[in-house]
Amino acid sequence: MKIKLNHFRIILLSISVFIPSLIIIADYFSLDFVWRIFRFGHMVPMFGDLRTIPTMETYDGIRENINVDPWGRPYNYPEVWIYIFTFISYIFDPYLFFGTLQLIIYPIIFWKISRYFNDLKPLIYFTAIYFSPPILLLLERGNNDGIVFIIIL
């Protein structure tokens, strides 16, 4: 039974790598037909929920927040995120950085947690929750709350 459990765990781990890869490919190549088939509310540009976090720009010695959210939603994260995104924006695009980082962390967390299951039934329950549509929606949108939920899970 131990061998079957390890094989099943490897298959699930490969799926946890495959799903974020599909999200990146679908967003990068604008494959909206996939989202329309499943009636999934897809946001363009990538990682729409992260785009509510503004960055600070300095004009003539005056600092102001530049909101890049194309939908005009209000900013509802702690203020420290503005400073983090501003710092990262000097190096590269903070929205792609944190969104992709979440997609990379997703399979790593799955791998770490799945090692604690010694029976197939609890692993299947965990997998059903871990790959549930709300969590995948949070990943696709780049919502920071999704990573917090996965860590708590």
pLDDT tens-digit series, residues 4-37: 777 888 888 888 888 788 777 777 776 666 666 6
The Cα angle at residue 98 between residues 151 and 11, in degrees rounded to 5: 55
Give phi and psi for 118, each to the nearest 5: -105, 0
Distance CA 143, CA 21 (A): 17
Residue, of 146 and 97, whose pLDDT is higher: 97
User: What is the pLDDT at residue 101?
Assistant: 85
Tokens standing for residue 38: 């499943």
pTM exceeds cut of 0.85: no
Give the model's confidence band at 57: pLDDT under 50 very low, under 70 low, under 90 confident, else very high.
Answer: low
| CA distances (Å), origin 26, targets 8, 22, 23, 36, 132 | 27, 6, 5, 12, 19
Residue 38 confidence (pLDDT): 58
High-pLDDT (> 90) share of the chain, %: 0
User: Do 151 and 109 form a contact (C-beta atoms < 8 A)?
Assistant: yes
- Mean predicted confidence (pLDDT) in 80-91: 85
Q: What is the overall mean pLDDT for the chain?
A: 77
What number is the average pLDDT over the span 75-98?
Answer: 83
- Provide the pLDDT for residue 18: 84
Per mean pLDDT, which range of 1-5, 10-14, 84-88, 115-119 is the poorest? 1-5
Task: Write the Ramachandran bin of 80: left for phi over 0, alpha for psi from -120 to 50, otherwise beta.
Answer: alpha
Contact 56, 66 (CB under 8 A): yes
For 87-107, how does the pLDDT look when each residue is reduced to its tens digit (9 = 90+)?
888 888 888 888 888 888 888
Q: How confident is the model at residue 75 (pLDDT cuts 50, 70, 90)?
A: confident
Helices 133-141 and 94-114 cross at an angle (nearest 10°) of 150
- Listed residue (56, 59, 77) closest to 67, CA to CA: 56
